[in-house]
Amino acid sequence: MHHHTALTPVSLRLFVVLPVLLHVKEFHHRHRPCVGDDVTWFLRSRPVPAELGTGVRHGTLDPVPGAVPTTGFPVRVRVVNWALSGPSDDRRPVPGSADLRDVHRPPKRFLAGRDRRDTHVLVDLAVRRT
């Protein structure tokens, strides 16, 4: 674990912060990384809702074709909760309804109601510049 997690102007010269989106299923029976933990995730570029920001990469804890292993440490962790719509067997997130809440570590249990659901974790990952 890093003794510092807040990035200062000096450390920003050493690190770049990448927003990484992980599906909540990634944490099922696995270590839930908290701010400051050393992690290696496999990142890939895929479209994400604009309301989550620009430059967001999808991440997974398991190697997958086309994903690049990336090592760093989380400096911010947020749970993404969406309003849902559609038939009961195919509920989908409603665009523009994302609610993000800051957490130190992803929870053991994610909220999963009929009308709203935690679907992802958005992590600001500090990666050493090369």
Q: What is the pLDDT of residue 9?
A: 63
- The per-residue pLDDT for range 59-114, each reduced to its tens digit, is 999 999 989 999 999 999 999 999 999 888 888 889 899 999 999 999 988 988 88
Q: Encode burial over 112-129: b for 16+ CB neighbours within 10 A, e otherwise.
A: eeeebbbbbbbbbbbbee
- What is the distance in angstroms between the CA of the first residue and the CA of the last residue of the chain? 21
In the predicted structure, residue 2 carries a pLDDT above the cut 80: no
Structure pTM?
0.86
* pLDDT above 50 for 1: no
